[in-house]
Amino acid sequence: MSDAGFGLVPQWWHWMVLGLCLTLFELFLPSFFILWFGVGAVLLGLVLLVAPGLSLTAQFLLWAALSLGFTVFWFRYFKNRTVSTVGSSTAHVTGEVGLLTQNLTSDTRGHVRFQKPVLGAEVWECYADEEIETGTRVRIVAVEGNFIKVAKA
């Protein structure tokens, strides 16, 4: 089937607009999947800017290949590094170090923030047997229900 039957063949800026729209759509639908189709469209727009004249079929095939390539690359090489430790055992997180964001005494609870999620959360309510000031690095001693027991690192 020839491309002549479709009329207008998309120009480079059509793909750039489509890519930006898809990327913006990702903000409203945080699936981190549509983003790669937007990136593929933007790259195709750049390819057409440098080398115009690709047929409609070639443009769609290149867009599909770029989008699929970025999606596979993301899920294969980078997504596993961002997976949190939801569902891991409490023994696995013992010893993790975080930063105390609220003063802590033996009578009051505070909050500790971790660089990566611990059991699915970056911020945990905590308690300790000693007084610890805000900004101190603490490590997890035990996980007890919805709270963690910490000590100075």
Per-residue model confidence as pLDDT tens digits over 18-29: 999 999 988 887
Q: Tell me how far CA of residue 143 lies from CA of 56, 119, 124, 146, 149, in angstroms.
A: 58, 10, 10, 8, 6
Q: What is the pLDDT of residue 93?
A: 81
* Spatial separation of the C-alpha atoms in residues 130 and 100, rounded to whole Å: 13
* Spatial separation of the C-alpha atoms in residues 50 and 62, rounded to whole Å: 15
Per-residue model confidence as pLDDT tens digits over 27-47: 887 677 788 999 999 999 999
Q: What is the pLDDT of residue 84?
A: 45
Q: Write down all domains in the chain, each with its CATH number in brackets.
A: 8-82 (no CATH), 90-152 (2.40.50.140)
DSSP state at residue 77: I
Low-confidence residues of the chain, pLDDT below 50? 1-2, 4, 82-87
Q: What is the pLDDT of residue 50?
A: 92
* Spatial separation of the C-alpha atoms in residues 109 and 126, rounded to whole Å: 6
Q: What is the pLDDT of residue 43?
A: 95
Q: Are 84 and 117 in contact (CB under 8 A)?
A: yes
